[in-house]
């Protein structure tokens, strides 16, 4: 990569980070807690969001969701709307991540005065999203058991910037060769002391611990 190319990339990322700070300030002014939810495709992001919505609705919390996809489909946002919460679909046009500009545009379409939580479902990818700040308060990764226990070793950057790790689909542990100790060692090397929640959106196991953590952030 040439020096000019490096400078251009740095300028783009700096401009993105500046706007991300503005997004975070805007959300905070509305007393909204926000999450950047990252994961690989098929990890259970949307199921996890729907389970979270179901639990928070019971306590009268209002949630807005920003859905990032590389194609112009509304499958996930339709599910959120069906659950009674507003959702904005972002078509990245093939880009492998969301950025602060996309999130800013989506925030303009949400009823911020009425919301307590905004969840940004980033594009399913373990590489690109790690480099782009969005302006959320927490970065959360869903790692699912079927993906394998080697992901922290293969995709280290996305684990370094996390505030919370969700280990999903633990109901499949008896059927899949997944070494939890090996997985956790890899995570600990990259992000010592990272808070993690082993859960199953299918059986509900471990979900309450996640809810308690999130509700403490919303209080």
Closest CA to 37 of 208, 198, 164: 164
Residue ranges and CATH numbers for the domains of the chain are 3-218 (3.40.50.300)
Mean pLDDT of the region 82-93: 91
**Distance (Å, rounded) from C-alpha 16 to C-alpha 213?**
29
Half-sphere exposure of 114 (CA within 13 A, CB side): 9
CA angle, 206 as apex, 204 and 208 as ends, to 5°?
85
pLDDT score, position 145 = 98
Residue 115: closest CA among 142, 157, 86, 135:
86
Predicted confidence at residue 76, as pLDDT, reads: 83
Q: Find out whether 115 and 66 touch, Cβ atoms under 8 Å.
A: no
Judged by DSSP in three states, 159 sits in helix
Q: pTM (2 decimals)?
A: 0.92
Residue with tokens 């306590």: 59
Q: Distance between CA atoms of 87 and 120, rounded to whole angstroms? A: 10
Q: Which residues pair with 164 in a beta bridge?
A: 140, 195
Average pLDDT for residues 164-187, to the nearest whole number? 98
Range name among 61-70, 87-96, 148-157 with the lowest pLDDT average:
87-96
Q: Rounded to whole angstroms, how far apart are CA atoms 113 and 110?
A: 9
Per-residue pLDDT at 49: 95
Residue 124: DSSP 8-state: S
């Amino acid at each position: 990569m040439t020096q000019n190319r490096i400078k251009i990339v740095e300028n783009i990322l700096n401009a993105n980070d500046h706007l991300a700070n503005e997004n975070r300030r805007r959300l905070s002014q509305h007393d909204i807690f926000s999450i950047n939810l990252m994961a690989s495709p098929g990890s259970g992001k949307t199921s996890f969001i729907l389970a979270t919505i179901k639990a928070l609705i019971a306590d009268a919390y209002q949630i807005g969701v920003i859905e990032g996809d590389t194609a112009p489909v509304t499958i996930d946002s339709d599910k959120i709307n069906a659950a009674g919460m507003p959702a904005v679909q972002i078509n990245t046009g093939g880009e492998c991540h969301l950025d602060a500009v996309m999130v800013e545009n989506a925030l303009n379409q949400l009823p911020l005065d009425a919301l307590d939580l905004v969840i940004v479902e980033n594009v399913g990818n373990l590489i690109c999203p790690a480099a782009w700040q969005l302006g959320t308060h927490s970065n959360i990764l869903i790692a699912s058991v079927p993906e394998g226990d080697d992901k922290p070793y293969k995709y280290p950057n996305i684990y370094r910037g996390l505030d919370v790790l969700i280990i999903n689909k633990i109901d499949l542990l008896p059927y899949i060769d997944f070494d939890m100790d090996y997985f956790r060692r890899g995570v600990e090397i990259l992000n010592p002391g990272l808070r993690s929640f082993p859960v199953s959106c299918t059986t509900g196991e471990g979900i309450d611990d996640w809810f308690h953590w999130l509700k403490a952030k919303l209080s």
